[in-house]
Structures are given as structure tokens and as C-alpha cells.
């Protein structure tokens, strides 16, 4: 009796504003034998969250990308839960629960286990905002999003049919409002509702379309693809921090090369990263640049697909390297000394990026560190190699240098030399350094070089690479 009463009180909340009932229809209930989701792929913590909410009398489901990935047989990288409990009600049920966000209020429930803490994102069913005047900007873009609604409405405001399925771990049933499961079988990515209207509401959905198509290998449905060519320019209105997050997700999806090709095919790359324009628009003359970026992205995809970490700073350092190299060479040709020429080029390269999606400062310092380490890999005598190995970001700089060797922008023998140097003991290292001294035509340490050839202080990148 008392528990029932408490449940009723908990469920009553003055913030709950149901909008007019929308004709969102009844969901298709898909039983286990049809969806074949393997319960072993579920996060125990996500199941704990749905159980706790259900025990307290609420509806709760695993939702969104996690259900899509589960249905594809992929282990989801994170789990979202949707419920009819309001954020306050959710917060009261969990010890480690934090209210996050203003435009889109959600609750983060954190679990501390053996490895990294796991955060389960819990969101309250949202209403459709068709008639909620003050929530929508003139362009149709949604500004605030905290009007609660029914599950059917919540499903209708999600982006793609395959992202709008709800899975109840207790009954192992999937609720499917928009034919997501049928689209999964057809390998189709289909926008819910009128695609043009949905892109106007949130232009980032165009980038999401490209990202999910690359990730799943699905085709964009014709009507979902068609408006993108005309509406792509709306991405200019999206705050740059959000664009940056979305591009980062795209680059870190494990399918970045496919996604970038997708951006190009959809005509969406212009103005996102000036560098993408540069790489994707230029022809055979920049083949070297293209090869380098392609290799760097393939390398990133491979790392992500095998569960290794990737630093965004490293990734951006690779994407901008061709541009930096061009600026560096131009500075050297003007007679600037090698190192100042590099640093000046780094400033220029970073400044050019600020005309499009700005690369956040926290990544900028990583990029600068990786770049400025590069000439140091060519000083392979005396104390230099030891000092370089001790620098805290050596591994990143080294991996970067190996990529340069793989495209032969830097002499591959240098990469091999470093691989040997790391693997051997002090005696072996001495031998390797002696070998450099005896290498015919190899560049001596810059200090000695300057003493010998006073007027020619500049060492252009190409000669350093030979
Ligand atoms: P990922 O694997 O990248 O996490 P995801 O589908 O889970 O993919 P999220 O950004 O985590 O993507 O979003 C979770 C869910 O929220 C989506 O599956 C979708 O249902 C909904 N969603 C997210 N962003 C939007 C958006 N811009 N418009 C409509 N629905 C969205
Ligand atoms: Mg997700």
C-alpha cells in the first residue's frame, strides 16, 4: 500500500507537460526469436538501470544506437536508456546520478567497476515540438527540448528508423515504431518523417546520416539523401563546438575514410575543415598529401576497430600535415632557418583552420608537440636520440614519423633506424649512431652543419628527408 503510494507520488511531477496526443501509432512488438539480440552483449549496468526504474513503477528501455548495434550483433560502445520518469525522478532512484544539460536535460548514472567507470545516459521521453512555438527558431532549428511526452512521440523525434527502437531487457522484446527492423534487413538508412524538415530542425542530422551509412554500410534511402544537396549549407548555422564534436565522432567512428568519402559524395565537406576541402577537391598534384591522409585515417580506423585508443590531437596533426609541409617548404624556400620555418608554418596552418570548424585548444598543443618533434628524428647522433626518447609524447611523435616513412615523405630508412634503436641495448644504440656518422650523404647534426656551411643555415624538409 505504502509503496504503491510512494510510486504514485514519485510519478507525479509538475514538470511533466504532455503535449497534444500525436498520431504516432502503436509500435510493432518484436519477440526475441525475430530480433535475435544476444543478451550477453548487454551492459549489466544498463540492465540494472532499466530494472530499477521498472521496479519503481516506470517504463524503461534501452534505446537508440545501442539497440541498432545489438541488432547488428555489434557490442555497443555505450548504452542509453529512455524512460517515462522525469530527470528528477530518475535522480532520486540512483546514488551516483547527475543531472546534465539545459537544452536537453538528461541524467548520467555512473557505475564504478573494475575498468573505467561506465556512464548510462538516461533520458525522459520527449514530446514532438511541432506546435511549441518558443522552442523552435525561425529556420526551424530546435532550441530547447525539455517537454516530456509519450514513448511514441519520443520515437518520432529520433533521427533514423534504425535509431528509434526500444529494447526491454526484462521481456527481451523490441518495440519498433517506424519499421527500423525492416530497414535493418533492407540495409537502409531512412529518416523518420519528412527528411527536409528534419534536417532544417537540426542540420547535424545530415552529418549523422553520412556517419551511420559509413558505419553500418547501409544505403541512404532516396528521400533521405535527396534534400542534403540543397540543405547542406545550413551546417553554417550550427555552433562550431557542436560541429566539431560531430566531426570528431565521424573521424573516430572506426570508418573515417568511408565517412569522409561519404561527406564528399554528399557535398558536405565544404567549410567543415578547410583541410577536407583541400584534400578532397585537389587532383593528382596532391597525390602525396592524399596518400598520407588516407594512410593516417586507415591507421586510425584499424586502431579503433581493434579497441585501441586514438588521440584526437594525433589525428588532427596527421590531417593537417600536408598543409603544414607545404607551408614549411615555402618558408624554407624564402630562406628561413629550418626550425623557425617549421614553427611559423605551424602557426599558419592552425590559423587557416580557424576559418572553418575550429580545432579546440586542448588538441592544438598536442598537435604542435607532435609536429615540432619531427625534425628531431633526423638528429641521430650524440645525446639527441636519448633526449627525444625521454620526451613525454615520444610515442605519438614516433608513430607519426612512421606514417611519414610509410608514404616515403620521409626516408623509410630513418623509421627503420628508430625501430632498431628502440629495440636494442646501449651497445646496439652506439653502433646505430656510429652507422649514421658513416652514412654517405646523410645529414649531420644541424649544429655541426651550421658551423661548416655558415651562409646556408636553412635545411628544407626535403633535404632533411633524404
Ligand atoms: P553512436 O553509436 O555514435 O553512439 P547513437 O545512435 O547512439 O550512435 P547518439 O548520438 O549517442 O547516437 O544518440 C543516441 C540516440 O539519440 C540516437 O540513436 C537517436 O535516436 C537520438 N538522436 C541523437 N542525436 C539526434 C538528433 N540530432 N536528432 C534526432 N535524434 C537524435
Ligand atoms: Mg550512443
Residues 340 and 449 occupy one common structural domain: yes
Task: Assess if residue 235 is contained within a domain.
Answer: yes
- For residue 221, being part of any structural domain is answered with yes
Please check whether residues 289 and 147 belong to one and the same domain: no
Q: What is the CATH number of the domain that holds 241?
A: 1.10.110.30
- The residue to mutate among 43, 61, 62, 64, having the most atoms of ligand 1 within 8 angstroms of its beta carbon, is 64
Note whether residue 120 is domain-resident. yes
Buried b (16+ CB within 10 A) or exposed e, 406-417: bbebbbeebbeb
148 is a domain residue:
yes
Best CA proximity match to 447, nearest among 329, 337, 371, 373? 337
159 lines ligand 1 (CB under 6 A): yes
Q: Which of 42, 44, 79, 51 is nearest to 63 (CA)?
A: 79
Residues 328 and 249 grouped into a single domain: no
85-126 residue pLDDT tens: 999 999 999 999 999 987 778 999 999 987 789 999 999 998
Number of domains in the chain: 3
How much is the pLDDT for 466? Answer: 28
Cα(24)–Cα(29) distance, integer angstroms: 15
- What's the pLDDT at 151? 95
pLDDT at 77: 87
- Among all bound ligands, the one having the nearest atom to the CA of 214 is 1
Residues 211 and 97 in one domain: no
Residue 11, in any domain of the structure: yes
**Atom 7 of ligand 1, residue of closest alpha carbon:** 65
139 and 202 housed in the same domain = no
Choosing from 154, 186, 218, the residue where a domain stops is 186
Out of 186, 207, 232, pick the residue that ends a domain: 186
Give the per-residue pLDDT at 129: 65
Does 275 fall in a domain? Answer: no
Q: Are residues 123 and 264 in the same domain?
A: no
Report pLDDT for 245: 86
340: CATH:
1.10.3090.10
The whole model's pTM is what? 0.80
The C-alpha atoms of residue 164 and residue 152 are separated, in whole angstroms, by 10
Residues 174 and 217 in one domain: no
Residues with pLDDT less than 70, the chain: 1-24, 129-146, 271-288, 354-360, 438-466
Looking at the fold, whether 235 and 171 belong to one and the same domain comes out as no
Asked whether residue 205 falls in the same domain as residue 62, the answer is: no
Residue 245: which domain range? 192-268
Radius of gyration of the chain (CA): 27
Which ligand is located closest to the Cα atom of residue 68? 1
Q: Quick one: 218 and 338 in the same domain?
A: no
- Whether 274 maps to a domain, the answer reads no
The answer to whether residue 273 sits within a structural domain is no
Q: Can you list the alpha helix ranges (DSSP code H) found in 217-285?
A: 222-225, 228-231, 240-251, 256-265, 274-281
Amino acid at each position: 500500500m505504502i509503496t504503491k503510494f510512494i510510486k504514485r507520488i514519485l510519478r507525479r511531477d509538475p514538470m511533466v507537460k504532455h503535449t497534444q496526443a500525436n498520431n504516432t501509432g502503436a509500435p510493432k512488438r518484436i519477440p526475441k526469436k525475430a530480433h535475435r539480440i544476444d543478451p550477453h552483449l548487454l551492459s549489466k549496468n544498463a540492465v540494472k538501470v532499466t530494472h530499477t526504474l521498472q521496479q519503481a513503477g516506470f517504463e524503461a528501455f534501452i534505446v537508440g544506437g545501442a539497440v541498432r548495434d545489438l541488432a547488428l550483433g555489434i557490442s555497443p560502445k555505450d548504452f542509453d536508456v529512455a524512460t517515462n520518469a522525469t530527470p528528477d525522478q530518475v535522480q532520486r532512484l540512483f546514488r551516483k546520478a547527475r543531472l546534465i544539460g539545459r537544452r536537453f536535460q538528461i541524467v548520467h548514472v555512473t557505475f564504478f567497476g573494475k575498468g573505467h567507470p561506465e556512464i548510462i545516459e538516461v533520458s525522459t521521453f520527449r514530446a514532438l515540438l511541432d506546435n511549441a512555438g518558443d522552442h523552435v527558431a525561425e529556420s526551424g532549428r530546435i532550441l530547447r527540448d525539455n517537454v516530456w511526452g509519450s514513448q511514441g512521440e519520443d520515437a518520432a523525434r529520433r533521427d533514423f528508423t534504425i535509431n528509434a527502437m526500444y529494447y526491454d531487457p526484462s521481456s527481451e522484446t523490441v518495440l519498433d515504431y517506424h519499421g527500423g527492423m525492416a530497414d535493418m534487413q533492407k540495409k537502409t538508412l531512412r529518416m523518420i518523417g519528412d527528411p527536409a524538415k528534419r534536417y532544417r530542425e537540426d542540420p547535424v542530422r545530415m552529418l549523422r546520416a553520412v556517419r551511420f551509412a559509413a558505419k553500418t554500410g547501409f544505403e541512404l534511402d532516396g528521400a533521405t539523401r535527396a534534400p542534403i544537396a540543397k540543405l547542406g549549407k545550413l551546417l553554417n548555422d550550427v555552433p562550431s563546438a557542436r560541429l566539431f564534436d560531430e566531426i570528431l565522432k565521424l573521424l573516430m567512428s572506426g570508418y573515417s575514410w568511408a565517412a569522409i568519402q561519404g561527406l564528399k559524395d554528399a557535398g558536405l565537406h565544404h567549410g567543415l575543415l578547410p583541410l577536407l576541402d583541400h584534400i578532397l577537391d585537389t587532383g593528382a598534384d596532391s597525390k602525396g598529401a592524399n596518400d598520407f591522409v588516407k594512410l593516417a585515417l586507415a591507421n586510425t580506423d584499424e586502431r579503433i576497430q581493434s579497441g585501441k585508443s586514438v588521440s584526437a590531437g594525433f589525428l588532427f596533426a596527421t590531417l593537417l600535415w600536408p598543409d603544414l609541409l607545404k607551408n614549411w617548404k615555402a618558408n624554407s624556400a624564402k630562406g628561413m632557418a629550418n626550425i623557425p620555418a617549421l614553427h611559423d608554418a605551424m602557426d599558419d596552418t592552425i590559423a587557416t583552420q580557424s576559418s572553418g570548424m575550429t580545432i579546440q585548444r586542448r588538441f592544438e598543443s598536442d598537435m604542435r608537440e607532435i609536429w615540432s618533434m619531427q625534425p628531431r628524428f633526423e638528429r641521430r647522433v650524440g645525446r639527441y636520440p636519448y633526449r627525444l626518447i625521454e620526451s613525454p609524447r615520444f610515442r605519438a611523435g614516433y608513430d607519426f614519423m612512421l606514417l611519414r616513412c610509410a608514404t616515403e615523405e620521409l626516408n623509410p630508412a630513418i623509421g627503420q633506424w628508430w625501430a632498431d634503436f628502440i629495440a636494442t641495448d646501449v651497445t646496439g644504440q652506439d653502433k646505430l649512431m656510429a652507422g649514421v656518422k658513416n652514412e654517405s650523404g646523410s645529414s649531420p647534426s644541424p649544429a655541426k652543419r651550421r658551423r661548416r656551411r655558415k651562409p646556408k643555415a636553412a635545411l628544407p624538409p626535403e633535404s632533411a628527408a633524404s
